[in-house]
Chains A and B, each alone.
Chain A
């Protein structure tokens, strides 16, 4: 054995060398070679074949032979019994030449070798003949609990929390008889209540997760009927239920099947049957079902299964694509669930398996295994090998035919949705938790809000206070005991002989019981409740509901609602967040003539924002120099002093709206006129079939284009389709070429959609039939995999034991539900149905005869092609190299010769086309960034000069309007020239070395001497209301940073458009990599010098990704960068990677300790969203990744305004006030007990009756605080919107501070003193009962308890700014409950406070002292709060005053003007009687 070990070691070394010498690197370093031998001696052909395949390895052949030493091997076809692996291998050594190298590495861990239509090698089997390897199921489980594990698991989870442990400990302590609390029920009540409520909440949440799981797991996918997956055991014990029903047909595998893995039976079976053994149809399977794809649940899909993916279906697991309806095996997938990109990506089948066109072929024709590594979350990396095997001619063994490397291009991942492909067949490789999407869906990091973190410190303080109190009591108790021992008094109450020390010790614990309530037991559960409520309010906020996408704001993390009110830094993505990711073709410049600036399309958001800003700045400057905000406020103020308007919501906007309406009307008229012209011009030229004539869909409608396209009756030009003359091109030609370029130079794919918005299946159109596959056509179509609606019968039987009765039933139920869903959503993938909006009817354009929808890799491209389409240059279809285009009503077919792809370094894209008659020539079309194209223009032609100059001016104008520009150019080629180039290109693309560079060079050589056609201006549409929203956020003191992957110029464009930058700002740019350090210091020096001088010019910093890379290298640079950026009003980061986004967020979050919010919409924003304190996902165009990872998912950027400035501010106030009140009421409750200890010799006597003690926190005082936390509003929404600066109380964290905590603490101590001593003095030495009956301990303590409950309930009321009927109701209810509790609970003879109701309520004194103590205890707070709010009001209270003032004014006006009163405002129309008011309050 030792020799074996030695050889393994030796091989270790060898293998590592292999790796170094260029043999393909292998993932597992620790592996063994296992030779899959075939009987090559009897099969020369195979031998050759495999030898050929192993040519590359020839030089290592020798080594390998050595390596087989000690390696295990197996034979499938051989007759050897292979009892001893070792012997076998040594045999091999001897028969060196006879070995064929079907090599199997030993695979470890979750790496895998998946066998398809092959028997498993012996080493993969255990002694029962079942596969050793077990793959995870495709069932995804995100739920935490099952029905059975819920109770123990949830309890365990809950008691892991320190607070719950503490209260459990306290409960146990109280159950110890020594401390003599005699009511176990009451002892356990609070903790049980808290735990039960939390458990119910957890249970509900988990139930939701179960439902989601069930939906994912239960979606339908199609697997091959009759296929036996060799990777799973064939013999599955019948489940109980199956046995009961005796379902034989469920388990074809139970037939005495020959496999596996006896080689003799394999050979015999294969000899008897024409087809390979694996695919043997079982007897129970009728022939017509064989090779048919049947339905199975997504959770039942297993590794090694054939799956059929149809158009619109989503892939249930990571699978290797084998073939597709496309002859070249290409399958387009939509990946937005994984990476957030909406464009379609091609995935390629295995070239050698393209012939598979039916399920039967899957069963019969293919034998291979796939080697793949451990599953990784990397979406862009995959390495694997697919090894095709051939059966030996005699059918006894296997030989390797071909090794095919497979990469990420061959993989269809779980969550991919098949598009533009009729069907595809794939082999499942990774399932369930091993699939990439699930590996990627890391748990959103659990975030805790700032207040929560701080609150925990306060809880610790409370613990310290508790400890101190207990210690004091313990020590004093010890002294008292010592004194008692020396005193006669001892005999009264303490005959025990314990030492004072022991007495002190036990007293510590009894004090703990007495004071335990200083830790608010219900605080945590209340906070959870309140935050749930706040989440509910956020969710149901109409202002954050997007009508178009039917989405409300969805809070995903419910515990961050208070952070929303404290955001100091807001990081925003650009594309899809600030902008809509909708590109609109706005303007173009053709041959120096500008089209599209005719006022047809409305002003863009960006331009509008800039205009408004400018207008706003004007009055501001006159009022107060340099202080824009003050100015704004003043205008607002004077505004409503003069015109107090009825509805405050509209105060600000009404006038503007009217103006706008006027403007709108005239604009619409102008627009209609233009459009009519446009339409007329269009019809004069051609009859549109594909062009849209819906003015609301057209961003561009310039009739001049058509006018200029009209054939001019000029002498030089005789016909529109004349051959190109050498003379200078006419405008008409230019325009034509221009739009031909747009419709031809791109990589878009087309969908035709019907009137309901559904994609017309490709079967119905000629694409498949008439595809460029020569023998394609009908035959191919007939070969398409058959699909049955029946369930695949193999699965349930083969599945695991656990799949019993219950599951089956559930499955059926679910199926029925699914069926319903199917009917609704026909062909679309169900797994992620919520986010697919193919069906949205609004994409249907009724003005179009045949509607074409373009799907492109970038939205710019789609915009360009669509624009060309609407102008009569419609791109119809792409079949391989043939592009069909409808040019002004005539269809032409272009032969695509080459595509020179776009990439970020080339910044251009070109196509070379063979044009049909009437051109009959070869042209190159090129579009790209202006600077890139400029270099490549033919500058020799002087006539171009003028055009060039004009075009450049236009380009400048475009970018000033915030448009993205592209330049278009072309040239025509002679066939000879092209042939020459083509050969060069061919050579370059097959070059062994420096291929990429060579290709680049060749491409570059082609794209020279171009003729300029013109330029396009595309609007990157801003989201609605973005500039206004950003303006308001900034007025609220939130610093907005934009982090974008776009280039600098675009970022600055958007910066201006969205109000982040304005003309008066100093822009500082940090770019590049090397100089940046010095640049930064320079900037810093200048900026701080300017600030020191009192320069009020605002600064803006623009940083490029490359600079960031450098600056993030050391902490010192990072800190300096932070410092600099904090001096700037706006910061824009461009060209940043997703990781850098997260780093920037973290830099500010940690460096400044500020609350940060990141908002983004794409997968590239996920890291940033997770890094920030609050992540907000825009649930819009780009997939769901961002909104999945986010804490709040909103539909529009502008909703941030309401989310932060209104909801956030409220929630911050609510949570702060609630927590402070919570601490307050507990301190208030505990301290009378302390005062009482003074008079009871610190004996640890519990002051309150036990029922009060336990119910105070759970019942008596909880509701008003919670209502305060749920519904209080400092200022109503319209005023918060009007005065965003109120938000600064949050950014400064003013509402929840340590100081305020101590103030509340102090107030509680004061109030406890008042309550205790009011009753103390009233009861001391006399008795308060008029009938002479003496007072007692319980009467006194109950009186204090009631007073404390009263004050503790009034306090949240006092702190409530917004008394809705809830607050009235619950304050009153709590007081009633408490006071009635004493009365009713006191009716039971067995309780301590028996009869207390009568004792207390019977006399005057109790009520009078109650009144007295309440007034006195509130007096200081009342007076101080008044003085502060009135004379030293902060923003918040000032605005409250303003609101009140406005309300009064309105009331006055209403009185003056009764017409208004009876008018449309029915809220004010009812009389002012209190009843009607109440009635309204309750509605």
Chain B
């Protein structure tokens, strides 16, 4: 303490700001190779991506109009379906057809409410080539603003996590679908749950396969369609049953409300979990079931759909999508194209700069610009 402490700053690289450093400099020597490298590497990669995307087969069939269809089989107009197959052999593709029937029970096995029939849409489509699993069955909705602020916020994570809600809480977080007029809390509450897509799809059936008499039914699994994290996340509510009631649009599913037996358990209902992962875009598809069995043989297939969900009230359409995936997901040429474009752009820029460098060469470290600048500054 007593000795005089010098105020002399320490001579360290840090304090004197002499730290070793990388001083990147944009010179033709660094820029041109970079541009060409990006071009050379990414354009072919883009091609690869494009190819991967092209290997994905996809069938999309808009069956919105099915609810107004008749008993007779009617083919869909061209704008309501798309077939994309990697096989060249697309000559024997038939346009999908739809047919509406009235049934007495749901595909889930549940009986129809008394005095009502279930409208069921039978969709037939053809697959011209052997499709290898895994295959995924999606439903696709359009003009459905699952990303509207009012909509997105209308749910209660607490309730889904199993906690008890008061009527006030429910109204606060789930408005306008918080509590029923009789004071019971909707379970699950909120707009999202209430508007849950409830068409159900059957397995797909190969009609009249070659060499066999009976139709082959390919069993689609409705398990494992939700993110496994979501499955573990939600719990069945601990709230007494008598305080809860199903949301208004769930009336068909729970015609008599909740009982001890049929109590809704979010962790068990993967369709619900999928639905609750709201989409960011008004057009979206959600996974309904997946297929992991034998390859699908070429032929004509049929799928039955219970038409429970009236998409027309929202002004949108609904479709089924049967699709495979690549390592990049569903069919989407964007990735491949964008990489190719980027690669090309970089190459072109590289060529431009190369030319520029050729016609107006500069040497690193030439000083003539300095003096030029200096006199320029003096003139100011």
* A, B: real partners: yes
Please give the residue numbers on chain A whose beta carbons come within 8 Å of chain B beta carbons, in ascending order. 177, 180, 182, 487-489, 491-496, 510, 537, 539-542, 545, 547, 550-552, 624, 627, 629-630, 633-634, 637, 820, 824, 1037, 1210, 1236, 1239-1241, 1243-1246, 1271, 1273, 1276-1277, 1283, 1285, 1288, 1292, 1318, 1320-1341, 1361-1366, 1368, 1389-1390, 1394-1395, 1398-1399, 1403-1405, 1408-1409, 1412, 1415-1416, 1419, 1422-1423, 1425-1427, 1429-1431, 1433-1435, 1438-1446, 1448, 1477, 1480-1481, 1483
Neighbour of B314 across the interface among A489, A624, A820, A1340, CB < 8 A: A489
User: By the criterion CB–CB under 8 Å, are B328 and A1394 in contact?
Assistant: no
| Cβ–Cβ contact B378 & A1335, under 8 A | no
Contact partner of B147 among A637, A1271, A1337, A1433, CB < 8 A? A1337
Partner of A1341, one of B136, B176, B280: B280
Q: Which of B268-292 contact A (CB under 8 A)?
A: 274, 277-287, 290
In the complex with contacts A493-B145, A1332-B287, A1403-B329 CB distance below 8 A:
yes
In the docked arrangement, what's the CA distance between A708 and B379, Å?
Answer: 59
Given A493-B150, A1323-B280, the answer on whether A1334 and B138 have CB atoms closer than 8 Å is: yes
**Which residues on the A side are within 8 Å of B112 (C-beta)?**
none
Docked Cα-Cα span, A1446 to B23, in Å, equals 13
What B residues does A1323 contact at CB under 8 A? Answer: 280-281
The answer to whether B149 has its CB under 8 Å from any CB of chain A is: yes
**In the complex with contacts A489-B314, A491-B313, A1336-B279 CB distance below 8 A:** yes
User: B188-228: contact bitstring with A at CB < 8 Å (1 yes, 0 no)?
Assistant: 00010001000000000000000000000000000001110
> In the bound complex, do residue B328 and residue A1389 qualify as a contact, i.e. CB atoms below 8 Å apart?
no
> B329 and A1330: CB pair below 8 A?
yes
Whether the Cβ atoms of B335 and A1277 lie closer than 8 Å is no
Q: Which residues of A contact B51 (CB under 8 A)?
A: none
Residues B149 and A1327 in contact, CB atoms below 8 Å apart: no
B130-176 contacts to A, CB under 8 A, are: 134, 136, 138, 143-154, 157, 161, 172-173, 176
Q: Give Cα A488 to B146, complex, Å.
A: 15
With A491-B313, A633-B371, A1419-B345: A541-B328 Cβ-Cβ less than 8 Å:
no
Expressed in whole angstroms, the Cα–Cα distance for A510 and B138 within the complex equals 34
Cα distance, A551 to B9, chains bound together (Å): 9
* Interface membership of B327, Cβ < 8 A: yes
A1364: chain B residues within 8 A (beta carbon):
19-21
Asked if residues B38 and A1441 are in contact (CB atoms below 8 Å), the reply is: no
Task: Contact check, B150 vs A1243: say whether CB atoms are below 8 A apart.
Answer: yes
CB distance from A1353 to the nearest CB of B (A): 16
Binary contact readout B52-70 vs A (1 if CB under 8 angstroms, 0 otherwise):
0000000000000000000
Contacts of B154 in A (CB 8 A): 493
- Pick the interface stretch among B26-34, B99-107, B251-259, B300-308: B26-34
Binding site for A on B (CB under 8 A): 1-2, 6-11, 13, 15-28, 31, 38, 42, 49, 134, 136, 138, 143-154, 157, 161, 172-173, 176, 191, 195, 225-227, 229-230, 232-233, 274, 277-287, 290, 312-316, 323, 325-332, 334-335, 338-339, 342, 345-346, 349, 353, 356, 360, 362, 364-367, 369-371, 373-375, 377-378, 380
Most A C-beta atoms less than 10 A away, residue of B26, B136, B149, B282: B149
CB < 8 Å: which of A630, A1324, A1338 contacts B374? A630
The residue on A at minimum CB distance from B194 is A492
B161 touches A1389 (CB 8 A): yes
Among B15, B153, B334, find the residue whose CB has the most chain A CB atoms closer than 10 A.
B334
In the complex, residue of chain A having the shortest beta-carbon distance to the beta carbon of B328: A1405
Flag if B226 contacts A1333 (CB, 8 Å). yes
User: A552: which of B7, B25, B152, B349 is its contact (CB, 8 Å)?
Assistant: B7
Chain B residue at smallest Cβ distance from A1444 = B25
Q: Which residues on the B side are within 8 Å of A1431 (C-beta)?
A: 356, 360, 362
Contacts of B2 in A (CB 8 A): 820, 824
Q: Is the CB of B328 within 8 A of A1244?
A: no
Contact B370 A633 (CB under 8 A): yes
* Contact among B134, B314, B335, B371 with A1332 in the assembled complex (CB-CB below 8 Å): B134
Contact present for A1416 and B176 (CB under 8 Å): no
Residue of A489, A491, A551, A1322 contacting most chain B CB atoms (<10 Å): A489
Q: How far is the CB of A301 from chain B (nearest CB, A)?
A: 28
Q: Are A1426 and B31 in contact (CB under 8 A)?
A: yes
Q: How far is the CA of A1390 from the CA of B161 in the complex (A)?
A: 8
Q: B374 CB to closest chain A CB, in angstroms?
A: 5
| Chain B residue contacts of A1236, Cβ below 8 A | 147, 280
List residues of chain B with CB within 8 A of the CB of A1331.
134, 325
Contact present for B25 and A1441 (CB under 8 Å): yes
Which residues does chain A contribute within 8 Å of B17, judged by CB atoms? 537, 1210, 1271, 1273, 1277
Question: Bound complex: CA of A550 vs CA of B5, how far in Å?
Answer: 10
Report chain B residues within 8 Å CB of A1292.
377, 380
State whether A1327 touches B285 (Cβ < 8 A): yes
Return chain A residues, CB-CB under 8 Å to B15.
537, 540-542
List chain B residues, Cβ under 8 A from A1389: 161, 232-233
B34 to chain A, nearest CB (A): 8
- Assess whether A1240 is in contact with B367, with CB atoms less than 8 Å apart: no
User: What are 20 A-B interface contacts by the 8 Å CB criterion?
Assistant: A489-B314, A491-B314, A492-B195, A542-B11, A624-B371, A627-B371, A1239-B282, A1277-B18, A1326-B330, A1328-B329, A1330-B325, A1330-B327, A1332-B330, A1365-B20, A1389-B161, A1419-B346, A1425-B26, A1426-B31, A1438-B369, A1440-B23
A1292 to B49 Cα, complex, angstroms: 50
Are B371 and A634 in contact, with the CB atoms below 8 A?
yes
Contacts of A1037 in B (CB 8 A): 377
Q: Are A177 and B325 in contact (CB under 8 A)?
A: no
- Give, as a whole number of angstroms, the nearest-CB distance from A1239 to chain B: 6
Shortest Cβ gap from A51 to chain B (Å): 64
Q: Which residue of B lies closest to A1244 (CB)?
A: B149
* A629 and B376 alpha carbons, distance in the complex (Å): 11
B362 and A1430 within 8 A (CB): yes
Contacts of B23 in A (CB 8 A): 1361-1363, 1440, 1443-1444
A906 CA to B19 CA, complexed, in Å: 60
Contact of A493 among B9, B143, B151 (CB under 8 A): B151
Not counting A494-B148, A1334-B286, a sample of 11 additional A-B residue pairs whose C-beta atoms are within 8 angstroms of each other reads A180-B173, A488-B315, A552-B9, A633-B367, A633-B370, A1243-B145, A1277-B18, A1323-B281, A1334-B287, A1337-B278, A1435-B370
**Complex formed: what's the CA distance from A1098 to B143 in Å?**
76
Q: How far is the CB of A1179 from chain B (nearest CB, A)?
A: 11
Q: Which residues of A contact B21 (CB under 8 A)?
A: 1273, 1362-1364, 1481
CB distance from A469 to the nearest CB of B (A): 16
Q: How far is the CB of A1283 from chain B (nearest CB, A)?
A: 7
Whether the Cβ atoms of A492 and B369 lie closer than 8 Å is no
Contact, CB under 8 Å: A1441 / B9: no
Select which of A489, A1318, A1338, A1433 is within 8 A of B338 by beta carbon: A1318
B284, A1240: Cβ atoms under 8 Å?
no
Task: Please give, as numbers and ranges, the residues of chain A lying within 8 Å of B364 by CB-CB distance.
Answer: 1441, 1444-1445, 1448
The answer to whether A1333 and B287 touch across the interface, beta carbons within 8 angstroms, is yes
**B227 CB → nearest A CB, Å:** 6
Rounded to whole angstroms, the CA-CA distance of A859 and B105 in the bound complex is: 114
B151 — which chain A residues lie within 8 A by C-beta? 492-493
A1340 to B, closest residue via Cβ: B280
CB distance from B289 to the nearest CB of A (A): 10
| Chain B minimum-CB-distance residue to A1275 | B23
Residues of B within 8 A of A1403 (CB): 327-329
Name the contact of B9 in the complex, choosing from A540, A629, A1276, A1434 (C-beta under 8 A). Answer: A540
In angstroms, how far is the closest chain B Cβ from the Cβ of A1244? 5
In the bound complex, how far is the Cα of B22 from the Cα of A1363, in angstroms?
5
Chain B residues positioned under 8 Å from A1444 (CB to CB): 23, 25, 27, 364-365
Q: Are A180 and B285 in contact (CB under 8 A)?
A: no
Contact A1446 B365 (CB under 8 A): yes
Q: Which residue of B lies closest to A1206 (CB)?
A: B17
Which chain A residue shows the least CB distance to B31?
A: A1426
Given contacts A552-B7, A633-B367, A1337-B152, contact A1405 B329 (CB under 8 A): yes
